Amino acid sequence: MSYVDEVLQKVAEKNPGEKEFQQAVKEVLDSLRPVIEANEEQYRKDALLERMTEPERIITFRVPWVDDNGQAHVNRGFRVQFNSAIGPYKGGLRLHPSVNLGIIKFLGFEQTFKNSLTGLPIGGGKGGSDFDPKGKSDREIMKFCQSFMTELYRHIGADTDVPAGDIGVGGREIGYLYGQYKRLTGLYEGVLTGKGLTYGGSLARTEATGYGLVYMVREMLLNAGMTMEGKTVAVSGSGNVAIYTTEKAQQYGMKVVTLSDSNGWIYDPNGIDLDLVKQIKEVRRGRIKEYAEAKPGVEYHEGKGVWSVKCDIALPCATQNELDLEDAKQLKANGCFLVAEGANMPSTREATDFFLESGMMFMPGKAANAGGVATSALEMSQNSERLSWTFEEVDEKLHNIMINIFKKVDEAAKKYGYEGNYVMGANIAGFEKVVEAMNAQGIV
Ligand SMILES: NC(=O)C1=CN([C@@H]2O[C@H](COP(=O)(O)OP(=O)(O)OC[C@H]3O[C@@H](n4cnc5c(N)ncnc54)[C@H](OP(=O)(O)O)[C@@H]3O)[C@@H](O)[C@H]2O)C=CC1
Ligand SMILES: O=C(O)CCC(=O)C(=O)O
Does 233 lie in the same domain as 359? yes
Q: How confident is the model at residue 206 (pLDDT cuts 50, 70, 90)?
A: very high
Q: Which of 368, 402, 428 is the last residue of a domain?
A: 368
Q: How far is Cα 227 from Cα 418, in angstroms, rounded to an integer?
A: 24
258 with 182, same domain?
Answer: no
Say how far apart CA 68 and CA 291 lie, in whole Å: 30
Say what the pLDDT of residue 81 is: 99
- Closest residue to atom 3 of ligand 2, CA basis: 91
Q: Are residues 95 and 115 in the same domain?
A: yes
Expressed in angstroms, the distance from the first to the final Cα of the chain is 26
- 226, 182: one domain: no
In a domain, 103, yes or no: yes
Q: Residue 214 — very low, low, confident or very high, per pLDDT cuts 50/70/90?
A: very high
Domain end point (choices 195, 216, 245): 195
Query: Sorting pLDDT into bands at 50, 70 and 90, what band is 64?
Result: very high
Question: What pLDDT score was predicted for residue 258?
Answer: 98
245 CB within 6 A, ligand 1: no
CB of 122 closer than 6 angstroms to any ligand 1 atom: no
Looking at the fold, whether 259 and 316 belong to one and the same domain comes out as: yes
CA 5 to centroid of ligand 1, rounded, Å: 32
Q: Does residue 60 share a domain with residue 167?
A: yes
The closest-lying atom of ligand 2 relative to the alpha carbon of residue 90 is 3
238 lines ligand 1 (CB under 6 A): yes
Return the pLDDT at 390.
98
Average pLDDT of the segment spanning 142-164:
98
Q: Which residues contact 179 (CB under 8 A, 6 or more apart)?
A: 146
Q: Is 114 labelled as part of a ligand binding site?
A: yes
Is the same domain home to 271 and 298?
yes
* Ligand 2 atom at shortest distance from the alpha carbon of 166: 7
180 assigned ligand-binding residue: no
The string of pLDDT tens digits covering residues 346-370 is 999 999 999 999 999 999 999 999 9
Clarify whether residues 272 and 123 are in a common domain: no
Would residue 117 count as lying in a domain? yes
Distance CA 429, CA 409 (A): 6
Q: Does residue 121 share a domain with residue 265?
A: no
User: How many distinct structural domains can be found in the chain?
Assistant: 2
With the most atoms of ligand 2 within 8 angstroms of its CB, the residue from 209, 381, 394, 401 to mutate is: 209
* Nearest ligand, CA 364: 1
pLDDT-based confidence at residue 105 (cuts at 50, 70, 90) = very high
Per residue, the 3-state secondary structure of the chain, as one string, reads: CCHHHHHHHHHHHHCCCCHHHHHHHHHHHHHCHHHHHHCHHHHHHCCHHHHHCCCCEEEEEEEEEECCCCCEEEEEEEEEEEECCCCCEEEEEEECCCCCHHHHHHHHHHHHHHHHHCCCCCEEEEEEECCCCCCCCHHHHHHHHHHHHHHHHHHCECCCEEEEECCCCCHHHHHHHHHHHHHHHCCCCCCCCCCCHHHCCCCCHHHHHHHHHHHHHHHHHHHCCCCCCCCEEEECCCCHHHHHHHHHHHHCCCEEEEEECCCEEEECCCCCCHHHHHHHHHHCCCCCHHHHHHCCCCEEEECCCHHHCCCCEEECCCCCCCECHHHHHHHHHCCCCEEECCCCCCECHHHHHHHHHCCCEEECHHHHCHHHHHHHHHHHHHHHCCCCCCHHHHHHHHHHHHHHHHHHHHHHHHHCCCCCCHHHHHHHHHHHHHHHHHHHCCCC
Q: What is the ipTM of this complex?
A: 0.99
pLDDT at position 380 is 98
Domain contains 323: yes
pLDDT at 127: 99
The whole domain housing 153 covers: 55-195
Domain holding 162: CATH number? Answer: 3.40.50.10860
Within a domain: 11 = no
Nearest CA to 165 among 117, 118, 189, 133? Answer: 133
Q: Is 126 a catalytic residue?
A: yes
- Tens of pLDDT, residues 228-240: 999 999 999 999 9
Domain boundary among 316, 338, 368: 368
* pTM of model > 0.95: yes
Q: Could you tell me the pLDDT band of residue 311, with boundaries at 50, 70 and 90? A: very high
The verdict on residue 20 lying in a domain is no
pLDDT at 210: 98
Sheet holding 57-66, edge to edge: 57-66, 72-83, 123-129, 89-95, 161-165
Q: Calculate the alpha carbon distances from 213 to 218, 311, 316 in Å.
A: 9, 17, 11
CATH of the domain at 254: 3.40.50.720
Both 244 and 182 in one domain: the answer is: no
Number of Cβ within a 10 Å radius of residue 264: 17
Does some domain include residue 442? Answer: no
Arithmetic mean of pLDDT over the chain: 98
pLDDT of residue 290: 98
Q: Atom 2 (ligand 2): residue with closest C-alpha?
A: 373
Distances (CA, A) of 138 to 143, 165, 176, 426, 444: 9, 17, 10, 39, 43
CA 415 to ligand 1 centroid distance, Å: 34
**146 and 256 share one domain:** no
pLDDT at 329: 98
Determine the pLDDT at residue 111.
98
- Closest C-alpha among 218, 253, 254, 258 to residue 238: 258
Ligand nearest to the CA of 91: 2
Within 10 angstroms of residue 444's Cβ, the number of other Cβ atoms is: 8
Per-residue model confidence as pLDDT tens digits over 252-303: 999 999 999 999 999 999 999 999 999 999 999 999 999 999 999 999 999 9
CA 38/CA 40 separation, integer angstroms:
6
Report CA(165)–ligand 2 centroid distance (Å). Answer: 7
Nearest-atom number in ligand 2 for the CA of 92 is: 7
Q: Is residue 330 part of a domain?
A: yes
92 and 223 in a single domain? The answer is no
| Domain assignment of residue 411, yes or no | no
